[in-house]
Amino acid sequence: MRQSRPTPPPAVGRSGTFFGYAALNVLCVVFALWKVPETRNKRLEDIERALHAPGSLRQNLSTSR
């Protein structure tokens, strides 16, 4: 089986590696909340129309219907 990451330096250790992955996950969640528009209660047709329209997807979704 192949490793998914290189071996951490001894100064970082296992706990440092764990907290590094945890920090990366927190950054990913913050990015998703910041950049991915809410599509709840939107019809698929409205989402497709907003994707194909010029301009910002978030702005297009907020003005549809």
**Domain ranges (residues) in the chain:** 13-63
Q: Are 37 and 55 in contact (CB under 8 A)?
A: no
* pLDDT score of 34: 92
Rounded mean pLDDT, 41-57: 90
Q: What is the pTM of this model?
A: 0.61
Element (H, E) at 34: helix 13-35
The proportion of the chain whose per-residue pLDDT surpasses 90, expressed as a percent, equals 32
Model pLDDT, residue 26: 98
